[in-house]
Chains A and B, each alone.
Chain A
Amino acid sequence: MRLALDDLHVALAGRDVVAGVHLVAESGEIAGLIGPNGSGKSTLLRAVYRHLAPRAGRVLLDGRDLTALPRAEAARQLAALPQERGEAFELTVRQMVGLGRLPHQRAFAADSAEDREQTVRALDRVGMGGHAERRFAELSGGERQRVLLARALAQQPEVLVLDEPTNHLDIRHQVELLALLRAQRATTLVALHDLNAAASVCDRLHVLAGGTLVASGPPREVLTADLLAEVFGVRAAVTAHPLTGDPLIAFDHRTPPAA
């Protein structure tokens, strides 16, 4: 399913934090959203998964306006892995993933066989099948992110939206989570801090600065020394990764950004 943002404006406290973004994630494609802190990445994503209402513009799924759909219907099409880390009031891993079934369920009805099966399948897909009865609160950071990804998968969505899913994870768990993401082959919109990770995982990158897109395209074309200097204010060289051939950014950590 194709995700398209059409002239999206999102305002916070009366100011446009996202100002007229056009962006497309083709079916089965991983679209990466990169940009400095405060460039509007999270705000844009929040409007996509309906935490915030756009001030103007549309979020389209195969041409259908997402914000015009009932919320449960929208959540069956598009699942989110937000950045917030809520208190998990004593939920087990199974219950946490089972919550992904919420948009498929009716009030009062017990979990259906389908609900239970999708929950187990989602847990297996992220390699957490053996941990279903553990308390979510006692998991490590990497395990938590995998469980939250499983919850999104249990929604059986056509589109995944993830906000910095690898934040606070060690390198092993970052690699693990991004490999899982690639393996899903779902239409994906993901905000990433780590530009090298974005370069190797994403099919297409969209660079956000000051609430507008300043570049879009395959990582190889987008990630240039000039762009990194202009948008992020850092000095860097872009070479080919010796193992994978993907673009590899070597940052100059000694030269402070120009004012």
Chain B
Amino acid sequence: MNKFFVITWLLFSVCFSSMSLASDYEAEGPHIQVRLLAEHSGLKPGSVQTLAIEMRPDPEWHTYWLNPGDSGEPPAIQWQSSEAITFGDILWPVPAPIPVAHLVNYGYSNAHLLMVPITVPNTLTVGEVVTLTADLTWLVCKEDCIPGSAQLRLSLPVTAELAKSVHADLFEQARKDLPHEVTLQGTLEINRDNIAISFNAPSGYAASPERWTVLPFRGDVIDHAAPQSQVSSEGKISLAIPKSDYFPSKLNQARFLVKQGNKGFYLDVSQANVDESNVENSSRHSSLTLSQLLLLAAMAFVGGLILNIMPCVLPVISIKAMALNQEASSRIQQIAYLVGVLLCFNLFALTVIVLQQSGEQLGWGFHMQSPSVIILLAFLFTFIALILWDVFTVGTTMSDIGETLVTGHSAKSHFFTGLLAVVVASPCTAPFMASALGVAMVSDTLTTLVIFNALAVGFALPMTLLFMSSNIRGWLPKPGAWMQTFKHLLAFPMLATVAWLCWVYAGQQGNQAQFILLVCLVVFAMCGYLLAQLKTLGKIVCGCVMLACVLAPISLYSSTNIDKLAPTSAQAFDPDLLQRLRSKNDIVLVNMTADWCITCKVNEQVALTTQQVKLALDAENVHYMVGDWTNRNQQILEYLQQYDRAGVPLYVVYAGSNKGRVLPQILTPGLVVDALTTAKQELNNVN
């Protein structure tokens, strides 16, 4: 009897203790159940394992993501353990936007796991039992919210091998609900009223027509409840979203979660350039890595060396070499020539930089991506090839002056020799300087300086070595007819460059445009040839034809550009025309856009090029005017300033001479059509 009692008591206590353990790892609050689960039934020393808090809100109730949206609060976990276990951050499953009246929250309306990776130290001994405690607080809401908290405890034995627990399947499932491991990279654009983000669709999603939803990590970036305009073209997704009321004054990068259905990706976006108006420069001043810079410098250095064996340079150097005294010259005398050359090249580089910078302010920024720059470079290199072939005869007087100048032995004479060598040798150096100029125009200041200095050092090196040691003289090749051949051969690398440029151009503008460019290049070369043969009048005609050849493809490019931008009957922005149309009591929609403005592109695709808007714009007395701010221009700047804007997009609808109505920065077809209809009514009321 006594024995029976003891056994019963033991059994009872075992049951009781296991029950108390069971109730320890789970808890219940109003409208929610929570559990602390482990993927494995034990802890293995030195391993990384996963724990999870299971949140199971009642139907229609929800808990929150790390950014709760307009209201609410994410769950928080404070971990403790009897051993030195390291707890990682919560791995949040992909959340969903949950609308509440006109506000939006981000969270989970069904059971989900908040998984947490833990690192088990090596020092644990098998057989030991470790207690893990999670102090959990949460907020569970339907429309009303109820905060809750629980202390959840789990005891796990330390085991040599890992065995799956009964909950392992839940973990397996939960991993499928996590955002993808690959973090996407994108660009961020900040406008007055909205932000626009742009990213390449992850592989497998490029063709999907389904829309993306953007959820921000920070609570102060976007208006959570606002509709998100989206366009995708060739796998690039762009979204324009109204800014949060709490948008920070400085924001260069931000993290988002972008989701399509249940699939989510983290997306890091950064501003291409902090100043919106400089966005165009960023594509041009593509920062070079050190190795790229060194390669460019090496190429320029070799170019400088080659300059020395040009027909109008080598004879000069040779004469100098012959005339040099055997007696040692001072160090100053030795480097004076180098200093002279460096000074001259740097002066030239500075001129280029100043021109480039002031040109930027004038709005004619060059960027390599721009087809018009590609065209200009193609003509430039063709022109250089023509010079190398001696198609244009350049007077030899300059090199004669050079020969007289280089005689003399003082440091001063060497210095001026260096300074002037560049200038006097210009018939031969010009092609190189022109190439360097071309590169400098599309590079940043540092690259320009590096290139010019490497070129200068290469150019000055043989002479400087000569000054230092006359033994070098023996190394110099003898001047002769081969120099001409070499010069002529150099034209081919130039033409190869032209071929490459034409290929780039075809990629941008298509085969037909490339054909036109090629024809223009051929005509240009032919006229160049004729120019040298003909008399005064013929020369003028040829010169004009050559100019026309350069301008034709450029103007063709810009007109196709407008077509691409505005498939409706759009007119280019012109303040005078706008004034005339308004005084005629017509309706005008002005669209200020730029190629680099993501929001503008989104609006053009989502709203302005839709059938609905096109019909409204094609109506009688309605005009559509497009200002292209891609390359800044004074007229557009003045117009933007009228509306206190520093950048695009800007949309204004005018009803005759009435004050224009500024449309929001994010357009919908309905909004544009309504604005045009209202303008029409306004006019009818007046008449």
- To the question of whether A and B form a pair in one complex, the answer is no
Partner-B contacts on A (CB < 8 A): none
